[in-house]
Amino acid sequence: MFKTDVVIIGGGLAGLVSALELAKAGHSVTLVERKTYPFHKVCGEYVSNEVKPYLESLGVDLVNLGAATINHLQVSAPSGRSLFSPLDMGGFGISRYTLDHTLYQLGQSAGVDFLLHHQVDNVQFHNNQFSVVVSNRYTGLTQTLTARLVVGAFGKRSKLDKTLDRSFIRRPSPYIGVKYHIKTDFPNDLIALHNFADGYCGLSAIEADKYCLCYLTSRHNLRRFGSISDMEQSVLWKNPHLKAVFTKADFLYEKPEVINEFSFSAKRAIENHILMTGDSAGLITPLCGNGMAMAIRGAKLASDLANAFLHGQIARQELEKRYQQSWANQFARRLWIGRTVQRFFGKTWLTEHAVRTLDVVKPMLRTIIRQTHGNVMTS
CATH assignment of the domain containing 10? 3.50.50.60
Band of residue 249 on the pLDDT scale cut at 50, 70, 90: very high
Is 282 part of any domain?
Answer: yes
Helices (H), 25-69: 52-57, 62-65
pLDDT digits (tens, 9 = 90+) for 170-184: 677 778 999 999 999
The number of distinct structural domains making up the chain is 1
Low-confidence winner among 178-187, 230-239, 350-359, 363-372 (lowest mean pLDDT) = 363-372
Q: Is residue 351 part of a domain?
A: no
Residue 342 in any domain: the answer is yes
15 neighbors 150 (Cβ within 8 angstroms): no
Of 170, 210, 6, 11, nearest in space to 106 by CA: 11
Amino acid 112: pLDDT = 98
State how far the Cα of 178 lies from the Cα of 192, in Å rounded to an integer: 16
Amino acid at 171: R
Alpha helices, DSSP H, located in 69-192: 96-110, 159-163
Q: Is 63 exposed, middle or buried, given 0-12, 13-18 or 19+ CB atoms closer than 10 A?
A: exposed
Q: Which residue has the higher pLDDT, 167 or 221?
A: 221
Mean per-residue pLDDT, 197-202: 89
How far apart CA 332 and CA 90 sit, in angstroms, is: 22
- Ranking 42-56, 67-81, 265-279 by mean pLDDT, the lowest is 265-279
CA 103 to CA 58: how far, in whole Å? 9
Average pLDDT of the residues in 75-100: 92
Would strands 199-205 and 190-196 be described as parallel, antiparallel, or unpaired?
Answer: antiparallel
Confirm whether 230 is domain-assigned: no
Give the structural domain span for 99: 2-67+90-172+262-346
Answer yes or no: is 16 within a domain.
yes
Region 139-147: mean pLDDT is 95
Looking at residue 288, its pLDDT comes to 54
Residue 157 included in any domain:
yes
- Whether 356 maps to a domain, the answer reads no
pLDDT at 254: 86
The pLDDT of residue 242 is 97
3-state secondary structure of 107: helix
The lowest-confidence range among 185-199, 203-217, 363-377 is 363-377
**pLDDT (tens digit per residue) in 36-61:** 999 999 999 999 999 999 999 999 99
* pLDDT at position 120: 94
How buried is 21 (Cβ within 10 angstroms: 0-12 exposed, 13-18 middle, 19+ buried)? buried
> Which helix (DSSP H) or strand (DSSP E) does residue 18 occupy?
helix 13-24
Tell me: pLDDT of 114 over 60: yes
Q: What is the mean pLDDT of the chain?
A: 89
Q: According to the model, what pLDDT value does residue 65 have?
A: 98
Whether residue 100 is predicted with pLDDT greater than 90 in this model: the reply is yes
Cα 118 from chain centroid (whole Å): 21
Confidence class for position 159, pLDDT limits 50, 70, 90: confident
Cα–Cα distance, 228 to 264 (Å, whole number)? 22
Share of the chain above pLDDT 70, in %: 87
Tell whether 13 is covered by a domain. yes
Predicted local confidence at residue 71, as pLDDT: 93
Task: Give the list of residues 6+ apart from residue 229 with CB closer than 8 angstroms, or none.
Answer: none
Start-to-end CA distance of the chain, whole Å, equals 35
Task: Compute the average pLDDT of residues 291-304.
Answer: 92
- Mean pLDDT across 185-207: 94
**Banded model confidence at residue 355, pLDDT cuts 50, 70, 90:** confident
Is the pLDDT reported for residue 350 higher than 80? no
Instruction: Decide which of 206 and 163 is more confident.
Output: 206
So what's the pLDDT on residue 377?
77
The pLDDT score that the predictor gives to residue 346 is 62
pLDDT of residue 113 exceeding 60: yes
**Average pLDDT of the segment spanning 117-143:** 95
Cβ-proximal residues to 2 (8 Å cutoff; 6+ apart), any chain: 30, 143, 144, 145, 146
